[in-house]
Amino acid sequence: MAGLQEKLLFIALILYLSGAVLPLMFRRSTSMSLLLGCCPGVAAGALGLALGLWGMLYPDPLVINLGYILPGVELGILIDRLAGFFLATISMIAALASLYSIGYMKMYVKENLAWWSFCYNLFVLSMSLVVIVNNTVVFLIFWELMTLASYFLVTFEYRHQQVRKAGFGYIVMTHLGTVFIISAFFILSGGGDWGFADLAARSESLSATTKSLVFACALIGFGTKAGVVPLHLWLPSAHPAAPSNVSAVMSGVMLKTAIYGMIRVIIDLLGPGPAWWGGLVLAVGIVSAIVGVLYALMEHDLKRLLAFHSVENIGIILMGLGAGMIFYSWSMPVPAAIAVAAGLFHVLNHAIFKSLLFLGAGSVYYATRTRDIEELGGLIHKMPQTAVLFLVGAVSISAIPPFNGFASEYQIYQSLLALSLAKVSGFWSAAGVLACAALALTGALAAACFVKAFGVSFLARPRSQKAAGASEAPPVMRIGMAPLAVLCLALGLIPQVVMNSLLGVAAQIVPGPDLPPLPGAFNLSLALLLAVIIAALAGLANLPGGRARRTETWGCGIVTDASMEYTAASFSQPVRRVYRFILQPKREVSTDYSLLPYFNYRMHFEERIKSVIRDFLYKPLREFTIALSKKWRCIQCGNINLYLGYIFVTLIILLVWVR
């Protein structure tokens, strides 16, 4: 039985590798290299999906041992339920993104497409391998490969200044984050044993403080990659910089590898810890969710906006995981498993709708060559199908029933409430409800944000020639997006099916009594009810006959045009003003009286928000480091006598110090 899986796995790997290498050989013809780069990815993704589902549903894990590849490093493939889940998610998204790329990358025929597909396939390959290896060193190798490949993907359009900046920030922050990950692993292993099994075995014998140290390192390290506040700074600049199909994969699943790492290290390897671990994760989640969505609401760059929403959703996922960790520390395995499963469910859902949205944004960019939503508008007439797909994504990410975003957030709500109802202490009871309120705030802000995003970019009149000249994206791109949209609805209608299989995954991480399957939730009936009512009303609406008459929008007597429409900036202004204590908006209004002394001829209005974290945390740090280094350089001042003096003094000091 396992032999088949091995074969499948190796076929998938070979497909990815061929997708990486073949285009380099056929780099002469771009279309050829594009096809060679994308199609194997689709096939391999399908295989990976099958493997992952198998590993997720089949009770005993698939173990493949490949022997010692490096001194003391034994490479083993371990597809247990957790790994299977993540492998399935990654492969599914990657496959669809590859399909989409066939159409999308045609935009870049001038660029080096072979290089793109090399990096892209390597990226997906390392992502898939990161979640299924069972040795920390190999994990780190593929983790870093993933970072490196995505770095080169982010800097694909390196001719733009901000893309270079974004890429640099990305690689620096993730690399520094990796330091913490490595520390976490090695503090845990404390020696030459690098296998996850050894780590798990050793974690029992560790002292509480050491465990907390490992926890902190893991949280910082993986948190950097996942983009939790305040370590999220690279995310909103790096994701938009990449081509949209890549951003879809990065935002959809690459962040999830960090979530995988957290679960693996913190919950699986470390086991139950003190309750404050979970509390901290929960708090981090809340902060990330609210800050992320607030900044998203201020963005007018469609992809930056989506990137900030990734920060938000990672926060929501962490809320679920945090609740699970708290239950775990209270040794309540059943609610713990449910909470973790809720988090995983949101992982899946976010992967689906976020990549759907990014691909939609990519189609918009493909059609209009702009990402600034102030220049868009009226696209629902130009590209109707893309509009529908994007709307589905928008509704799902705003957690609106009956779509999947609502389904997973519902489960997280339940877990947080369970936190309060456990009645362990007044503090936690209050905390649970407050966390729910925070989640509600996040949901409302997200809804506001996507009303803005969809309404401004797809509805009303085109605000620029670019938008006016748009046309529907090529079919292959729409085909790539459609399954995601379908999944958004399907997972929203029958969440209990997914939840039950995810409960199996969670039960593997949080061992306990085997759980009763969740009862069928109400979503389906609710959806049916809605559908019936709306259909009935639709019938009723047309009862007395007569169609809707079309006329110009009423503009108080004058003919309205695009310049009178509500812009994204003006849409978000009330929120900007209400939440100014976080956003710190600065507005400058300058009036130009050049024409007439009393009547202003032209007004210039500008309101920009300040990134508090960058200005007060990162900038000082960077400047301090540079200044210190400049100071330090003076020891190499070019004077040979001084140099000889160094040697001399060193010798004398050592001689004195010997005893």
Partner 1 sequence: MTVNILSVLGQMAFLLLMAPLVNGVIKKAKALTQCRRGPGILQSYFDIVKFLRRDPVVSVQTSWITLLTPLVCLGAYLAAGSIIPLWDHRGIVFGDLIAFTYLFALARFFLGLAGLEPGSAFGGMGASREMMIATLVEPVMVLGLFGLVLTAGSTDLGALAGAGWNPAGALSFIGLMIVTVAETGRIPVDNPDTHLELTMVHEAMLLEYAGRQLGFLHWAAMLKQLVLLALLVHLFWPQPTGIPVAAALGLIAAKVTALGLGLALTESVLAKMRLFRLPELMAGGAAFCLLAVLSNSIM
Partner 2 sequence: MLYLLLLIPALTAVACFLPLNTRWWERFNVVGSILTGTAALYISLQTLQAGSPLWPGRFLMVDQLSAVLVFIIGVIGTICCLYTVTYLRADRANGEMDSRKTGWFFGLVQLFVGTMYLAVLADNLGVMWVAIEGTTIVSALLVGFYGTRTSLEAAWKYIIICTVGIAFAMLGIILTFHAARGVLGAEEISLSWRFLYPVASSLNPNLMKLAFVFVLVGYGTKAGLFPMHTWLPDAHSQAPSPVSALLSGVLLNCAIYAIIRFHLLASATGDFSGRLLVLFGIMSMVGALPFILVQKDIKRLLAYSSVEHIGIIVLGVGLGGTLGYTGALLHMVNHALGKSVLFLSAGTLTQSYHSKLIPRIKGIGQLLPITSAIFMASLLAIGGSPPFGLFISELNVATRGFEASGPVLGFIFLMVVAVVFTGMIYFAGKMYFSNLPSRFPRGERFSAAHALMLLPICLLVLQGVYMPGMVQSMLSKVVSYMIAGGVN
Partner 3 sequence: MTEVLAFVFLMAGLLMLSGRIVVKNITLLAIQSAALSGIAFYLGFAGSEISWHMMFMGGLTLAVKVIVLPMLLYRTAIRVVVYREVPLSIGMGPSLLIGVLLVALTYVYIVPVLLIEIHSQTMLFPVALSTVLLGCFFMVSRRSAFNQIIGIIEMENGLFLCALAVTGGMPLIIELGIFFDLLVGAIVMGIMTHKIRGTFDTLDTKELSRLKG
User: CB burial class (10 A; 0-12, 13-18, 19+) of residue 9?
Assistant: buried
641 binds, among partner 1, partner 2, partner 3, none (CB under 5 to 8 A by kind): partner 3
Q: Kindly state the smallest distance separating residue 630's Cβ from partner 3, in Å.
A: 9
Q: How far from 127 is each of 47, 372, 480, CA to CA, in Å?
A: 15, 31, 20
Q: Are 34 and 120 in contact (CB under 8 A)?
A: no
Residue number, 547 or 659, with CB nearest to partner 3: 659
447 binds partner 1 (CB under 8 A): yes
Residue nearer to partner 1 on the CB measure, 236 or 378 = 378
Q: Which is nearer to partner 1, 53 or 524 (CB)?
A: 524
Residue from 443, 492, 495, 504 binding partner 1 (CB under 8 A): 443
Closer CB to partner 3, residue 440 or residue 644? 644
Q: Please state, as a whole number, how many other Cβ atoms lie within 10 Å of the Cβ of residue 448.
A: 18
CB of 203 to partner 1, least distance (A): 33
- Smallest distance, Å, CB 568 to partner 1? 10
Stretch of 11-19, 136-144, 333-341, 599-607 contacting partner 2, by CB under 8 A: 136-144
CB count in 10 Å sphere of residue 647: 9
Distance of alpha carbon 289 from alpha carbon 318, whole angstroms? 9
Residue tagged 């709500």 (tokens): 413
Site for partner 2 in 194-223 (CB under 8 A): 194, 213
Number of residues that bind partner 2 (CB under 8 A): 54
Element (H, E) at 183: helix 161-189
500, two tokens: 């039950």
The overall longest dimension of the chain from CA atoms, in Å, is 106
Among partner 2, partner 3, partner 1, none, the one that 555 touches (CB under a kind-dependent 5 to 8 A) is: partner 1
Instruction: Give the x-and-dash track for 460-499 against partner 1 (CB under 8 A).
Output: xx--------------------------------------
- 129-166 burial, b at 16+ Cβ within 10 Å, e below that, comes to bbbbbbbbbbbbbbbbbbbbbbbbbbbbeeeeeebeeb
Q: How far is the CB of 627 from partner 3 (least distance, A)?
A: 15
| Contact indicator for 63, 211 with CB cutoff of 8 Å | no
Beta bridge partners of 135: 195
Find which of partner 1, partner 3, partner 2, none residue 201 binds, CB within 5 to 8 Å per kind: none
Q: Which does 560 bind (CB under 5 to 8 A by kind): partner 3, partner 2, partner 1, none?
A: partner 1
Q: Is 64 in the site for partner 2 (CB under 8 A)?
A: no
**By the 8 A CB rule, do 449 and 309 touch?**
yes
| Type of residue found at 300 | H
Helix 2-25 crosses helix 113-130 at what angle (to 10 degrees)? 160
386 binds partner 1, rule: CB under 8 A: no
Among 169, 171, 197, residue whose Cα is nearest residue 63:
197
Residue 175 lies near partner 2 (rule: CB under 8 A): yes
How many beta carbons lie within 10 A of that of residue 61, not counting itself?
18
Q: How far is the CB of 63 from partner 1 (least distance, A)?
A: 41
Closer by beta carbon to partner 3, 541 or else 644: 644
**Residues 132, 264: Cα–Cα separation, whole Å:** 11
* 384/645 with CB nearer partner 3: 645
Question: Quick check: 547 binds partner 1 (CB under 8 A)?
Answer: yes
Interface with partner 2, residue 28, by CB under 8 A: no
Q: Is 420 in the site for partner 1 (CB under 8 A)?
A: yes
Q: Could you say whether residue 441 binds partner 2 (CB under 8 A)?
A: no
Regarding 629 and contact with partner 2 (CB under 8 A), the answer is yes
Structure letter (DSSP) for residue 635 = G
| Closer to partner 2 by Cβ: residue 178 or 370 | 178
Q: 504 with 417: CB under 8 angstroms?
A: no
Closest by Cα among 460, 468, 453 to 553 = 460
Residue 441 binding: pick among partner 1, partner 2, partner 3, none (C-beta 5-8 Å cut-off by kind): partner 1
- Residues with Cβ within 8 Å of 315's Cβ and at least 6 positions away in sequence, in order, are 228, 229, 284, 285, 286, 287, 288, 289, 290, 292, 442
Q: Which residues bind partner 3 (CB under 8 A)?
A: 633, 636-642, 644-645, 647-648, 651-652, 655-656, 658-659
Between 157 and 607, name the residue whose CB sits nearer to partner 2: 157
Position 548 contacts partner 1 (CB under 8 A) = yes
Q: Is 140 in the site for partner 2 (CB under 8 A)?
A: yes
- Residue from 562, 554, 252, 579 nearest 448 by CA: 579
Residues 554-583 that bind partner 1 (CB under 8 A): 554-555, 560, 562, 564-566, 570-575, 577-578
Q: In the numeric block, which tokens belong to residue 6?
A: 């091995």
Is residue 138 within the footprint of partner 1 (CB under 8 A)?
no
Residues 586 and 392: their CA atoms lie apart, in Å, by 35
Which partner, partner 2, partner 3, partner 1, none, binds residue 400 by CB below 5 to 8 Å per kind?
partner 1
Backbone φ and ψ of 608, nearest 5°: -120, 145
Contact between 376 and partner 1 by CB under 8 A: the answer reads: no
Give whichever of 331 and 641 is closer to partner 3, judged by the CB atom: 641
Applying CB under 8 A, the residues found at the interface with partner 2 are 68-73, 137, 140-142, 144-145, 148, 155, 158-159, 164, 167-168, 171-172, 175-176, 178-179, 182-183, 186-187, 189-192, 194, 213, 625-626, 628-630, 632-633, 636, 640, 643-644, 646-647, 649-651, 654-655, 658
